[in-house]
């Protein structure tokens, strides 16, 4: 069996259920021999810790995995998380940021009508969180002589995708963060990249109105004529976490069946028809 991540320690944020992109990444990294730590949001804001525990148990002995609460809008939970990671693991090789949130209202409203509070919230949870987590992870990655930070984005950044609104602004900021952090942390051999995934049915994605149309369109006209799976995204994350991507940093890697090279997006067509 290939063990591209044997000996690597990876912290994965953003597993909500078995459909989560973070879960696809966790499975792929586990298959390649990584030791894994997970986070969950505590109730009432977050979904059940119990669900994440049950999922993690499907990977093997639950005692082999670390599991901590973390709300990226609360610095005290981030400090506590990295304190425990330091005491348990001493260092960290990979951080996977699979976190995003916007009020459903602010996704569905016209862009010009997004509320001030909604715009700030989407930015804080979905983009600024990468700064805070990278700041906390860097000293632990230093202990290991470098590391890999991986964030998840969506290409509503270069092209306008109606229905993505507040989250599109947050993803643009996240991608800027990937480039600036790559420059700053490169001196410590910490690489920072984003995976831009095609549309996947997840809890968060259910808030995006045109998701089914985007998936249909991907099947019908994308270069590869197929929707991406959790495993497709997971395998790219394995590459980015592994030494195979030793000199790869500051990139947005598209795992989207090639959709990003097309001139038109389905969203624009649907929009014209409204």
Structure tokens at 257: 């069946």
Q: What share of the chain is helix, strand, coil (3-state, %, to 5)?
A: 50, 15, 35
b/e burial code for range 204-231 (CB count within 10 A of at least 16 → b): bbebbbbbebbbebbeeebeeeebbebe
The answer to the question of residue 154 lying near ligand NAP (CB under 6 A) is yes
Size of the site for ligand NAP (CB under 6 A): 28
Question: Quick one: 86 or 260, whose CB is closer to ligand NAP?
Answer: 260
* Nearest in space to 99 (alpha carbons), one of 77, 69, 129: 129
Phi, psi (degrees; rounded to nearest 5) at 204:
-65, -40
* Shortest separation between residue 64's beta carbon and ligand NAP, angstroms: 21
The answer to the question of residue 255 lying near ligand NAP (CB under 6 A) is no
* Nearest in space to 149 (alpha carbons), one of 195, 89, 198, 208: 195
Active site residue 254: no
The answer to the question of residue 254 lying near ligand NAP (CB under 6 A) is no
Out of 35, 202, 218, 249, the only residue in the binding site for ligand NAP (CB under 6 A) is: 202
Active site residue 154: yes
Specify the stretch interacting with ligand NAP by CB under 6 A; choose among 15-23, 114-122, 235-243, 258-266: 15-23
Out of 203, 231, 244, 269, the only residue in the binding site for ligand NAP (CB under 6 A) is: 203
Say what angle helices 230-241 and 21-31 make with each other, to 10 degrees. Answer: 50
Query: SS3 for 220?
Result: helix
The answer to the question of residue 125 lying near ligand NAP (CB under 6 A) is yes
The answer to the question of residue 239 lying near ligand NAP (CB under 6 A) is no
The answer to the question of residue 123 lying near ligand NAP (CB under 6 A) is no
Q: Could you say which DSSP state residue 126 is in?
A: I
For residues 34-73, which are near ligand NAP according to CB under 6 A?
41, 46-47, 70-73
The answer to the question of residue 98 lying near ligand NAP (CB under 6 A) is yes
* Shortest separation between residue 55's beta carbon and ligand NAP, angstroms: 11
Omega prior to 222 cis, within 30 of 0: no
Query: Among all chains, which residue has been given the structure tokens 């610095």?
Result: 75
The answer to the question of residue 14 lying near ligand NAP (CB under 6 A) is yes
Q: Which of 154, 180, 239, 254 is catalytic?
A: 154
Distance separating alpha carbons of residues 253 and 63, to the nearest angstrom:
34
The answer to the question of residue 244 lying near ligand NAP (CB under 6 A) is no
Instruction: Evaluate whether 131 touches 79 at the Cβ level (below 8 Å).
Output: no
Binding site for ligand NAP (CB under 6 A): 14-16, 20-22, 41, 46-47, 70-73, 98-101, 125, 152-154, 197, 199-200, 202-205
**Would you please indicate which residues are annotated as catalytic (active-site) residues?**
154, 164
């Amino acid at each position: 069996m290939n063990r591209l991540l044997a000996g690597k320690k990876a912290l994965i944020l953003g597993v909500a259920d078995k459909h989560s992109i973070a879960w696809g990444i966790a499975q792929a990294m586990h298959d390649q021999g990584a030791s894994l730590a997970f986070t969950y949001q505590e109730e009432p804001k977050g979904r059940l810790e119990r669900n994440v525990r049950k999922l993690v148990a499907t990977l093997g002995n639950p005692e082999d995995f670390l599991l901590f609460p973390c709300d990226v809008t609360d610095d005290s939970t981030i400090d506590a998380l990295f304190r425990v990671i330091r005491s348990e693991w001493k260092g960290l090789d990979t951080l996977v940021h699979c976190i995003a949130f916007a009020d459903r209202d602010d996704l569905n409203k016209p862009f010009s009508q997004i509320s001030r509070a909604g715009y700030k919230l989407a930015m804080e949870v979905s983009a600024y969180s990468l700064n805070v987590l990278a700041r906390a992870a860097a000293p632990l990655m230093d202990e290991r002589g470098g590391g890999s930070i991986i964030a998840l984005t969506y290409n509503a950044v270069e092209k306008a995708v109606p229905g993505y609104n507040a989250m599109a602004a947050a993803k643009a900021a996240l991608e800027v963060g990937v480039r600036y952090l790559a420059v700053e942390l490169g001196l410590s051999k910490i690489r920072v990249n984003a995976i831009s995934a095609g549309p996947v049915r997840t809890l968060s994605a259910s808030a995006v109105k045109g998701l089914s149309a985007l998936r249909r369109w991907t099947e019908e006209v994308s270069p590869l004529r197929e929707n991406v799976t959790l495993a497709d995204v997971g395998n790219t994350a394995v590459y980015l976490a592994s030494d195979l991507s030793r000199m790869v940093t500051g990139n947005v890697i598209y795992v989207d069946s090639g959709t990003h090279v097309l001139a038109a997006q389905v969203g624009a067509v649907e929009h014209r028809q409204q």
